[in-house]
Amino acid sequence: MKVQLSEEAENDLASAYDWYEEKLLDLGVDFLKELVSALDSAKSRPLAFQLVYQNYHRLPMRRFPYVILYTYAEREHTLYVYRVFHTGQNPSRWKK
């Protein structure tokens, strides 16, 4: 299965990575490893995670306070990651 990141998701990841790396060396790397692990779970069970808005699923990361918002295109066999969202942010913000 393919995973495609939106520009917003790429920006979210870059910001989170930079923030964690600034706090502690290699913590940003740990964040990215956790993201890959979470996406592997979604790839194996794309419809198993909570549906939160229209066809968007919410996939929580275990170690970090982030959720991955994605859609699944069955025909294309692709996860489209829309945002990687910090849980402390206003949830209505990701819909913009």
Cα 9 to Cα 14, 66, 67, 75, distances in angstroms: 9, 12, 11, 22
96 pLDDT higher than 70: no
- The pLDDT mean for the chain works out to 93
Using an 8 Å Cβ cutoff, are 3 and 78 in contact? yes
Q: What pLDDT, in 10s, does the model give residues 35-79?
A: 999 999 999 999 999 999 899 999 999 999 999 999 999 999 999
Quickly state the pLDDT bin for 94 (edges 50, 70, 90): low
Instruction: At 27, list the tokens.
Output: 């913590």
Task: Give pLDDT, residue 53.
Answer: 86
Structure tokens at 9: 């998701």
Instruction: Report pLDDT for 90.
Output: 67
H-run or E-run covering 27 = helix 27-44
| Whether pLDDT at 3 is above 70 | yes
Query: What pTM did the predictor assign?
Result: 0.89
Given phi > 0 = left and psi -120 to 50 = alpha, else beta, which region is 77?
A: left
